[in-house]
Amino acid sequence: MNIADKPQSPRCDHKGGKAACRAQSCVLCGKCLEVCPLFAATGREELSPRAKFFLARTIEGQEVEISEKVAVELAAKCLGCGKCEKACPFGLCAPELVSGLKAAHQGLEAKLWQTWVEKAGVLWPMMATLSRLVPRLNTGGYAGLLSGLKAMAPGARLTPWLRPVAYDACGTGRKAVVFPGCVASHVQDHWTASAERILTGLGFTVLPRPDFACCGCTLGHAGLKDAQLSMQRKNLQAWRDAGRPELMSFCATCRCGLRGYASRDLGWQPGEQDLWLQGLAPFAILAARASYEILPGAPERVHYHTPCHGAGGGHDAELLRTAAGDRFQARTHKNLCCGFGGALKLSAPELSDAVAKRCLDFYGPKPGEQILTGCSGCVIQLRANAPAGVSVGHWLEIIGE
Ligand code: SF4
Ligand code: SF4
């Protein structure tokens, strides 16, 4: 089957739903333990999805004696990867549970995360620069995130080693805009430029970039429902103002978040949800409509990290396998995650780093090799934690002009 014809997931990951997430529904069977990256990296049962549902009962006044504060803190330690929902026979969704708990018990972490996302345009480039110039900069609660931002310095980008040699004309007569997401907007603009070049090569009319906000996905995980809704409404309006073109996203987490808009009450007009979803397929499907040649200097071995979110992992890997041949490695495991985890970087950076280390140990890259992925958060996290001599990037970076 051609990659472009592969079926896509019709739904966003772990949308959950309150009824499905009721802690009382959990039968404590432990099937979710096998897939939880946090449990795999730490061996701590109290951080597992099963424990989260158990602790939620405690918070509701049942089960064992434990203070509410401790229970909320423990239960809220979650990467939001959504793997547990897929493994649970009842589809119980820990991220949705955690999001509800955080919304009801908001603390400093939520406020810091909201500022981090809402002020990204000013905060990220400034802090990335300052932290390089002033190594001992007092970064307050953001220390865990700064190592990631430092790793996203412009000089850290990969040198392209694939060149498009032919495109088909699937975009002829179609209008598109790229939704860049926070990371590409503020520190990795070349990802957006690469996506727009591919679209143009395929014959799309690429419209000027609307003033999109964050997709809101991580705000929802942090329990910041109002802030998430406000960003969703802003993005919907920006898309309307652009004339409702096909919306393209090359970040698996953004795409997951954006697809989730269609099932929420955002004041949609008739027919708009279908138009919104039309372009939100894995971007690799479009990139696979071009053919590529490998340039001199390509790494001997390239690893692929499958993002937890979105439906793009399979398509990304297939694109790279076709284009890169034998140098491409796509080993994976059901409980692997980069460990980025959004607000977890603020509350427990040591847990986030432990998950990243386990993930990188699994790939075992050697100096000179590359790790590619299709999610902005995964790039930040893996680039910040990669061993010396190993470069990490979004797969769009390796596609030159
Ligand atoms: S798999 Fe589902 S029912 Fe079983 S312990 Fe995990 S959350 Fe509970
Ligand atoms: S979302 Fe991921 S990290 Fe959180 S409990 Fe589920 S499997 Fe574990």
Q: Write the pLDDT tens digit of every residue in 349-380.
A: 889 999 999 999 999 999 999 999 999 889 98
57 Cα: distance to centroid of ligand 1 (angstroms): 14
Helix axis angle for 49-59 and 94-104, nearest 10°, is: 40
For the chain, the straight-line distance linking the first and the last C-alpha, in angstroms and rounded, comes to 28
Pocket of ligand 1 (CB under 6 A): 26-32, 49-50, 53, 87-88, 90, 92
Q: How far apart are CA 305 and CA 394, in angstroms?
A: 10
Q: What is the pLDDT of residue 155?
A: 58
Q: What is the pLDDT of residue 150?
A: 66
SS3 305: strand
Q: Which atom of ligand 1 is nearest to the CA of 27?
A: 3
Residues in the chain: 401
30 Cα: distance to centroid of ligand 1 (angstroms): 5
Among protein residues, the one whose CA lies closest to atom 4 of ligand 1: 29
Are 287 and 198 in contact by the 8 Å Cβ rule? The answer is: yes
Least confident of 113-117, 253-257, 271-275, 349-353: 113-117
Least confident of 39-48, 81-90, 103-112, 196-205: 103-112
Mean pLDDT of the chain: 83
Q: What is the pLDDT of residue 12?
A: 36
Q: Domain 163-285 adopts which CATH fold?
A: Glutathione S-transferase Yfyf (Class Pi); Chain A, domain 2 (1.20.1050)
Are 205 and 146 in contact by the 8 Å Cβ rule? The answer is: no
Task: Give residue-wise pLDDT tens across range 322-349.
Answer: 999 999 988 888 899 999 877 777 778 8
| CA angle at 146 for the pair 371 and 342, rounded to the nearest 5° | 70
Specify the pairing of strand 290-294 against strand 162-167: antiparallel
Beta bridge partners of 246: 176
How far is Cα of residue 222 from the mean position of the Cα atoms in its chain? 14
Among protein residues, the one whose CA lies closest to atom 8 of ligand 1: 26
Percent above pLDDT 90 for the chain: 53
Are 97 and 126 in contact by the 8 Å Cβ rule? The answer is: no
> Range(s) for CATH 1.20.1050 in the chain?
163-285
pTM assigned to the model:
0.85
Find the mean pLDDT for residues 74-82. Answer: 84
